[in-house]
Structure 1
Amino acid sequence: MEALQDIVERTVAAMGYELVELELGQQGLLRVFIDAPAGIRVEDCERVSHQLSHVLMVDEIDYERLEVSSPGLDRPLRKPADFVRFAGEEVTVRLKRPFEGRRNFEGVLTVEPEGRFGLELVVDAVRASVPGKGQAARRIPKLPPRKPKAAASPAGTGAADAPEATQKLVFALDEIDRARLVPKVKF
């Protein structure tokens, strides 16, 4: 698998793309997920598929079917370069070990000193503590107040005036099980 990974990564990189993930599926299926700063189009997948078919044949790599695609809207983050590239974006992170009783977190990705990364977790205190239909109330940790986005009204009683609070989770890559972008669809 390591030799295959190297061959595919070299080929994809030489074409100006990034190898995000490589999967070996059942019945000889080889899936390759690629990305580029400008995004991936069908034509990009066709180009890479065509080139990889030739390279894998020359290197005598055995597979039955090749699929090349984009990593999708919920792109996985694996390498330090992925975390740097997507700093400022919303991501979900699953830790290997629980932190304060939780393993799953969602927030805005930050780059921290010493090769670490962070998540700015934003909690709307009113919305998070009031259960909606079919939801149980959640305990919200006490967090330091965040600078308000807009001035509150004098009455200060509306839900829109409720302060948001932030908390930062800082981690090293070896502490996370997986990380993915939060899908954002623009119409």
Structure 2
Amino acid sequence: MRGKTAEDLKLLDLLDPVAEAAGYEIVRIRLMGGDRQRRLQIMAETPAGEMNVDDCAALSRAVSEVMDAADPISGEYVLEVSSPGVDRPLTRLKDFETYEGLEARLELDRMAEGRKRFRGVLAGIEDGQVCLDLEGETDTVLVPFDWIVEAKLVLSDELMKRGAAQRADRLGADDDASHRED
């Protein structure tokens, strides 16, 4: 899920160590567009789940150096480094645990219980499976992580409140740090 195509996966193999050395984790990578105007989109974050403009610039510089040297993409492309955003894609098993209690939308590569798309509240992970509480259902659905082709948090009031609280916590921590330096 972090990469969709064989080319994406090769780029992940090349760039994961670069991101890790710079202190980031690649959440998702996509090489989009045709032969003429291509765009390499990298969504990343720190291990703490943060990514600001300075982080994007730092990772972009680190990635650019390696991309220029290795030249893995034929032709011209635009590099775009960003945070995953508030209604982020869920691409790693740990994401489903981190965002437990929030609503998500999942798409599978095969039919399960008569459908390929699910929407429900994340209920953690269990033995490599994503636990999902569906509205109106009493049992928690277990979906094998390997069957998921797309997953994303659903933009909701609860998600927005959680994001605001995390930003406030970070700002408070920054204020505390600046007061200690004085």
Fold shared, TM-score > 0.5 on shorter chain: yes
Residue in structure 1 matching 2:145, options 170, 173, 183: 173
Residue in structure 2 matching 1:34, options 38, 44, 68: 44
1:12 matched to 2:31: no
Preserved CA contact (<8 Å) 2:29 2:42: yes
Q: Measure the CA separation in 2 of the matches of 1:3 and 1:95.
A: 23
Q: Measure the CA separation in 2 of the matches of 1:42 and 1:110.
A: 32
Quote the residue 1:153 is aligned against.
Answer: none
- In the alignment of these two chains, the number of paired residues is 146
Cα deviation code 1:36-59 (max 9, x no counterpart): 324211111111111111121122
1:49 matched to 2:60: yes
Q: Measure the CA separation in 1 of the matches of 2:68 and 2:110.
A: 42
Question: What code does the residue aligned with 1:43 have?
Answer: D
1:185 matched to 2:163: no
Shift of 1:29: 2.0
Q: Measure the CA separation in 1 of the matches of 2:84 and 2:154.
A: 13
Shift of 1:98: 4.0
- Structure 1 stretches of 5 or more lacking a match? 124-142, 144-165
- Structure 2 stretches of 5 or more lacking a match? 1-6, 165-182
Shift of 1:95: 3.0
Shift of 1:103: 3.2
Cα deviation code 1:56-102 (max 9, x no counterpart): 11223344321111122221122222223323332111233444444
Cα deviation code 1:2-58 (max 9, x no counterpart): 432212111111122111111112223211111232421111111111111112112
Map 1:83-122 → 2, pairs under 5 A = 83-122=96-135
TM-score by length of 2: 0.68
1:67 matched to 2:39: no
Shift of 1:112: 4.4
Shift of 1:118: 1.0
Higher radius of gyration, 1 or 2: 1
TM-score by length of 1: 0.66
Among the aligned pairs, what percent are the same residue?
34
Q: Measure the CA separation in 2 of the matches of 1:18 and 1:31.
A: 14
RMSD: 2.3
Preserved CA contact (<8 Å) 1:122 1:167: no
Q: Measure the CA separation in 2 of the matches of 1:6 and 1:15.
A: 15
